[in-house]
A and B are shown apart, each in its own frame.
Chain A
C-alpha cells in the first residue's frame, strides 16, 4: 500500500473527469448480453433496506409530488435520478457478475446499496413524474476489476460535480437539504473508489461543478446508455423498482 501511494500525488492531476471517461474503450470491450444479466437483478435492485441514513431521504417527499414541487425541482430531481440509475445499475451489475475481489467487491456492494437507496427515494419523491430507467450496456467494464474501478471513479466524480452544479438552483429547502447531503456521500464514494484505484482521493482543494450539458456530453460519450428513459406517464418502463 505504501509503495503504491508514493507517486500518488504526481499521478493525480492526469486523471481528469473527461479523460477518465473519454479513455474508456467501449469498442474494445466485450459486449455483454446485459439484458440477461440484468433480468435476474431486480431483487438486487430492491435490496436497500440495510442502508443507513435513508431517513433524511424521506424529506425529498416533504413537498408533495404533483402538487407543490416546482417544475424546476422536478427537472433537477429527474436529472439526479438519471445519474443515480446509471450508478445503481453499474454497481448492481458488478455485484451480479462477481468479477470483483476483496475491498473492491465490498465497496461495490456498499456503494451499490446506497445508490439504489438514492434511486428509490428520488422515484418516490417524483411519483408519476419520475423518468423511467434507461437501458444500459456497460460494455464489459463491470467484468474487470481495474476497469470497474476506473469507471467507478469517473461516475462518482461526475455525480459530485453534477449535484454541486444543481444544488444552488433548487427551489425547495427540504429538497436542497437532501441533495447537498447526497452530494457529500457521492464525494465519499469518489474518494473511496479513487483510493482503491490507486490515485489520490482528494486531488484538489476545491471541487468544481459540472454543468448539465457537459455532464450529458460525457455520459453520452461512454455509450453506456443504450436507450433513454421516458417519463412513466409516457411509456411503461422496462424495469421498475
Chain B
C-alpha cells in the first residue's frame, strides 16, 4: 500500500482545514444542508488506515462467514442460493485481501452466531440486506479518512458491496437504488449496525 508523499499530505491537510472552515457556513443561502460528511479529526495516516481497514476486516469476516454458512447448510434455493454463492466468493476475496494487507496488524475473527439466518430465506434476506447496506455505508463513511493508497483499494471493494446490496434488494422487490447518494456511517454507527444484526457474540 503506497503512501501519499509528504507534500501531498501537507496540501491535503491544508485543504481539509479550509474545507472545515468553509463548513462553518453550511447554512449559506438559507438552505440547511443535512447529511454532510463528517470529517476526520485527524488527517489520514498509515496508523489511521490500519484502524479503518480493521473495521472493514470485521465487516468482511461477518459477511464471508454468513454466506459460507448459508452455502454449507444448503437451505437456500433459486436466485437466493446463487446470490449467496457469488457474493460469498467475493467476500472471501475481500477478507483475504484485507488480511494480507494488514498482516500482523489484522484483528482476530469475531465470534459469530447466525441463528436461523443462514437457513430461513426471510431471515437470510434480512441479514444480507443489513450486512450489505452497512458495508457500503461504512466504507463510504471512511473515504475521507483514508490515505490515497488505502482509498484506492477500498474503492475497489465498496462498489462491489453496493452491487451486492442492489442485487439482494432487487431479488426481494425493493428498489435497488432510490436515492442520489448513499448514506455514510461513522465507525461507531457501523459497529452499532453490525451489532444490531445480532450476529456478533
Residues on A facing B (Cβ under 8 Å): 1-2, 5, 8-9, 48, 51-59, 62-64, 68, 70, 110-111, 114, 117-118, 121, 160, 164, 167-169, 171-174, 176-178, 180-192, 195, 200-202, 204-209
Contact = CB atoms under 8 A, between A and B. Distances in A.
Given A160-B159, A174-B37, A205-B94, A187 B11 contact: no
A209 B184 contact: no
Contacts of A208: 156
A146 B33 CA distance: 39
Most A-side CB within 10 Å, residue of B22, B97, B139, B181: B181
Given A63-B22, A64-B22, A184-B136, A205 B184 contact: no
Given A53-B178, A110-B178, A191-B163, 20 more contacts: A52-B180, A53-B183, A57-B180, A58-B36, A62-B22, A111-B177, A118-B180, A172-B19, A173-B16, A174-B39, A182-B181, A183-B158, A183-B159, A187-B159, A202-B86, A202-B90, A202-B163, A206-B160, A207-B159, A209-B156
Given A205-B89, A205-B94, A2 B79 contact: yes
Interface string B62-106: 000000000000000011001000110110011001000000000
B125 interface: no
Contact of A167 (B143, B162, B183): B143
B140 interface: yes
Interface of B: 11-12, 15-16, 18-19, 22-23, 26, 31, 33-37, 39, 78-79, 82, 86-87, 89-90, 93-94, 97, 136, 139-140, 143-144, 148-149, 151-152, 155-167, 170, 175-184
Contacts, number: 209
Contacts of A174: 19, 22-23, 36-37, 39
B167 A201 contact: yes
Contacts of B22: 62-64, 68, 174
